[in-house]
Amino acid sequence: MSASFPFALAALVLAVPLVAAYLHRRRRVEKRVPSLLLLRVIAGTSRPTRRAWSRPRHLVSLVLVLLALVGLVLALVDLHDDHLWTRGLSKKQVLAEIVDDIAVPRRREG
Amino acid sequence: MHVDRAALSRFVALRLRAPGAATALQAGDRRSAFRGRGLEFADYRPYDPGDDLRLVDWNVYFRLGTALVRQFHEERSLSVKLCLDVSASMDFGSPRKADHGAQLVATLAMIALAHRDPVVLACVGGRQRGLRARAVNLDGMPELLHLLERAEPDGVGDTHTQLVAHLGQGRADRLVFVSDLLQPDSERDALLRLCAASCPRPIVMHVLGPDELDPDLEDVERVVDAETGEQLVIRDGREAKAAYREHLVQWLAGVEARCRALGIQYMRAETTGTTADLVHGPLFRGQVVEHMAGGA
């Protein structure tokens, strides 16, 4: 395999801020309410301590975005198959075009 | 609190409907349980020295030889008491529950005073004391509005004690208590029982804001009670929201059932609706207000 623009692979670095954006959670805040009377039913027993990276939000969406990024980078890199070179043939040999026109009837001149 | 004064004049064509005989000391146009001077004959009673001789029925005297005095149904005004909850829990929502309640109370006061029904207004449940005003006709309306506009929901006071002090002063033919009813169960029940004991058919107007009906708890880690300062860590998620909604429905149904059991007319006054909708809707259907053409 060979790449026409190998430097485009650097665009994969964009995955880092993407993943970070998905892992980021707004800081959970404290809220003043008129009364706790109605909210006791949804009261937790302890402070939630789950770490953000243990379960990123919208996991499917993150995977799809990462796949799209990888696809874009691969398109930019322009990978192509180079198995002919691996068999010891030079590029000129491969690209040489031999035209045999003996059998082609020629128009008589004059 | 804010009161839209311009909107009040739209309701002068209505008047409060009397749930029974009027008891105010002020003369009016409503039938009362008192006997005395009036237009509608009520009964006879034996003559007592000092009675007005013009009230003696001479036909009966000449026929039976007994002096009887004619008695008439006295016509009195309706005595109206309005109580507005100004505890800290009313300081929420958009529009604020306190402003919505103040507008509602001002509207009812305007309807009553336009027909010379005396009104006593008290703001209870807050830190400020002495938030009380009285008016016997429209001349006293500015004083009531001034009281509403200078009162602000803050802190938490002893609502029950303040309500006892307010209701203990004179009788009431109509009692309207405007509150969000976010007191502890025992305190709320005591308030409702007090209302029921103070008036034949009291009205409780339950002010509900979006904060109660559909609270936004996303990314909220803990909630703090505005009145008590108590804190709770809350669960997030769909199950929690579903549990809250279910609990809210049960709570509302419980409050309404308790009011009915105590003979209280219960009405919801959601802040998302307008006062006009409330007056022309539930208050009209509930026979709390009527058009001027209606009977007393």
Contact between residue B159 and residue B181 where contact means Cβ atoms under 8 Å apart: no
Q: Which residues contact B219 (CB under 8 A, 6 or more apart)?
A: A25, A26, A27, A28, A29, B236
Query: Across-strand partners of B178?
Result: B84, B205
Return the pLDDT at B296.
43
How do residues A28-79 score in pLDDT, each as one tens digit?
A: 678 888 888 888 877 765 444 555 555 656 788 888 999 999 999 989 888 7
**Residue A45: closest CA among chain B residues belongs to which residue?**
B233
Return the pLDDT at B260.
94
CA distance B256 to B112: 26
Query: Across-strand partners of B265?
Result: B203
Q: Do B244 and A32 touch (CB under 8 A)?
A: no
CA distance B22 to B41: 17
Return the pLDDT at B295.
47
**Residue A30: closest CA among chain B residues belongs to which residue?**
B222
Return the pLDDT at B72.
82
Return the pLDDT at B158.
80
What is the β-pairing status of strands B14-16 and B289-291?
antiparallel
* B232 and chain A in contact, CB less than 8 A: yes
Q: Which two tokens stand for residue B23?
A: 């008891």
Contacts of B188 in chain A (CB under 8 A): none
* C-alpha distance from A14 to closest chain B C-alpha (Å): 27
Contacts of B232 in chain A (CB under 8 A): 36, 39-40, 43
* B214 and chain A in contact, CB less than 8 A: no
Contacts of B244 in chain A (CB under 8 A): 38-39, 41-42
Q: What ipTM goes with this model?
A: 0.70
CA distance A74 to A5: 10
This model's pTM is above 0.90:
no
CA distance B175 to B113: 15
Q: What does each of the 296 residues of chain B score in pLDDT, given as a tens digit?
A: 888 988 888 888 888 888 777 676 677 777 777 777 777 787 888 888 888 888 888 998 899 888 898 888 877 788 899 999 998 889 888 889 999 999 999 999 999 999 888 999 999 888 877 788 999 989 999 999 999 999 888 877 788 888 888 887 777 889 999 999 988 889 999 999 999 998 888 999 999 998 888 888 777 778 888 888 888 888 766 777 888 889 999 999 999 999 999 999 999 999 998 999 999 999 989 888 888 765 44
Using CA atoms, how far residue B39 sits from A57, B31, B76, B126, in Å, is: 78, 10, 12, 45
Q: Where are the beta strands (DSSP E) in A1-60?
A: 2-3, 29-33
Return the pLDDT at B65.
87
CA B97 to chain centre: 16
**Burial, B13: exposed, middle or buried (Cβ in 10 Å; 0-12, 13-18, 19+)?**
exposed
Say yes or no to pLDDT of A95 above 80. no
- pLDDT category, A90, cuts 50, 70, 90? low
Q: What are residue B92's phi and psi, to 5 degrees?
A: -135, 160
CA distance A18 to A67: 12
Residues 183..202 of B with a Cβ closer than 8 Å to A: which? 183-184
Q: Give the best residue of B97, B207, B232, B252 to mutate against chain A (max A CB count within 10 A).
A: B232
Q: Do B232 and A39 touch (CB under 8 A)?
A: yes
- pLDDT category, A97, cuts 50, 70, 90? low
CA distance B120 to B295: 24
